[in-house]
Amino acid sequence: MVNSGFSGYAEGDVSPARFTFTWLRVVESSLSAKNTHFSITVTKGPHDELVDFVALLLPEAMLSIAGLLALAGFSTASIVKNFTSSNINVNRGIISELSSGCPTTGTASCGTPAGTNTCCFETPGGLLLQTQFWDTSPSTGPSNSWTIHGLWPDECNLSFQENCDSSRAYTGISTAYGPGRQLDPQLHEYRFWKNDPNDGSDEELWEHEWETHGTCMSTLDVSCLPSGSPKGAEAVAFFETVVGLFQTLPTYEWLANQGITPSSSTTHTLASLTAAIKAEYGFTPSFDCDGSDLSGASYYFHLIGSVIDGKFVPINAPESGSCGSTGIKYLTKTGSPVTTTSTSTTTKSTSTTTTKTTSGGGGSTGTPIPLPATAFIQASTGGGLLTLGTWSTQTLATMHLTGTSNSFTMVSSKGMYWNCGASGGELTCGSGVSLGTFTAVQSGSQLLLASGGSTAFSSDGVPSGSTVFPVFTGSSHAQAYTLAIVAT
C-alpha cells in the first residue's frame, strides 16, 4: 500500500504515462520485482525540480497511486506500462541508493576471512582487473582518453571463470539502465565505454561484459541484494562500479604527464610505459599489444566488501600482458573529438580530478566556441528546456552533449537521464525517445541549437510559472525563438 501526502497541479506536458506534482512524499511503499515497468514523473518542491521516477510496483500499489492522483484532481488519471519484462526492469535512479550492508574494513579478497560470507567477500574471483582499450583502427572514444573494457574477477591463482549464470544474461541495457546520477556530468557509458564497431554495438559490449564477468561475482549474486530489489539491480551496480573505477584511472593523462603521448612513429619499451604509470599512480598495470601496437591496459585490485560499494585496494600487476619488451607503438587515434572541458569526479571510494579535451566546430564569426559537455538550453525570449524537452521558466535541466558541433547527441537530466530527439516536428526527451542528432551553429558569441540545419524553434504559447509548452522545430507556431547552448 502507498501512503502519500501532496498538493499538486499538472504541467502542460502531462501525458497518460507521466504525472507532475509540486510535491509528492511517499511515506511507505510496497515494491516488488514484478515483470511490469511503470513510469511516473513527479515534481519535488519547493523549487519545482523535476524527478523522473521509474519503479517496479505491485499492481495494488499502482492502483493506490492512481486513486491518490484522482483525489488530487486527476479524475482521468491512468498508469501506462511502458517497458516489458525482457529487459532489465530497473532504472539507475533507484539503484543509486543500493547498499550492500557490507563493511569496507577488514580482510581484502584473496586473504583469509574470519568467516566466509560470499556476499561481503568476493570469491573465488578475488583478483579484480579494471581493463581498458586503446583502439586506433578503427578509433573509438575521445582521442585523449582510453576507453572502458570491463571489470574482471580473476581467481587468486590467476585462473578465471566466465558466463556463470545464463539466467541473468540481461538485454535492453541502454533502455532499462541508461546512465545514472553518479556518472554526471560525463555520461561515461556513451563517451568512454565503446565497442569496436566491427564487433558490434556499444550495448553488445556492455551486455557481454556483464554476462561474461559480472555474473561470476559472488557479491553480486541475487541473494546478496536487499529485499525487494528490482530485477537487474545487481547489473546496474556492476555498471556503476566499472565506470566509477575507470574514472580514477586516467591512463592517457598519466602517460602524458610522463612525456608519453600517441605517435605514429615513436616506439617505447614496456619498462618505460610501466614506470610512467607507477610514477603517477604508485602501482604497475599490465599492458597488452596487438602485434607491436599498444591496445590495452589492466589495473589490478583486491576488494574489501562488495562490488556494489566496497573498497578497491590497488596492487601491482601479478603477471605481464601480451606486449613485448621493446618496439611498442602508442599510435594516435583518428576521427575522435577532442574537448577542453575539465571534470571533477568523485567515486565511491576514491576522488579524482581528470581533464578531458574536446573540440567542436563551428561558427560563422569570431573565435570558435567549443561544444560543452554539459549545458543549459536557454530560449532567446526567456526560459529554456526542462527534462522532457518542454519550454519553461522553471529551473532548467542539465543537458549532456556528446560529439562535436557538427554532429552531437543530447541527453537531459535533472535527477534522471532521458534521450532527446526531434521527430515529427517536435523536440522531446524521454525514456522512449530515440537518441537524435543535433548540430550547433555559432552566432556571434552564442552557440545555437539546430535541428535539421535550422536554428528556428517555436511553441503555441509563452510559459509562465507552472505552465510549459511543447517545443517544435521551425517557426510555424505562434511563438518563435532560438535556443542557445549555455555551458554549465
CA–CA separation, 69 and 64 (whole Å): 9
CA distance 182 to 203: 19
Neighbours of 135 (CB within 10 A): 21
Give the C-alpha separation, 390 to 401, whole Å. Answer: 18
Helix (H/G/I), strand (E/B), else coil: 8:
coil
Q: Could you give the C-alpha distances from 174 to 180, 282, 413, 427, 428, in angstroms and in order? A: 11, 35, 15, 21, 18
What is the rounded CA–CA span in Å between residue 242 and residue 122?
15
DSSP string, 402-452: EEETTEEEEEEESSSEEEEEEETTEEEEETTPPPP-BEEEEETTEEEEEBT
Q: Tell me: cis bond preceding 179? Omega within 30 of 0 counts.
A: no
- Choose, from 37, 213, 268, 400, the residue flagged as catalytic: 213
Going by C-alpha positions, the residue among 205, 229, 206, 225 that lies closest to residue 217 is 225
From the candidates 11, 209, 211, 253, give the one annotated as an active-site residue.
209
**Residue that is written with C-alpha cell 520485482 in the block:** 33
Annotated catalytic, 209? yes
Contact predicate 217/121, CB 8 Å: no
- The string of DSSP letters for 151-192 reads EEEE-TTS-B-----GGG--B-HHHHT---GGGTTT-HHHHH
Q: How many CB atoms lie within 10 A of CB 478?
A: 11
Inter-residue contact 150 to 189 (CB < 8 Å) = no
Catalytic residue among 149, 188, 268, 400: 149
213 is catalytic: yes
Where in the sequence numbering do the catalytic residues fall? 149, 209, 213
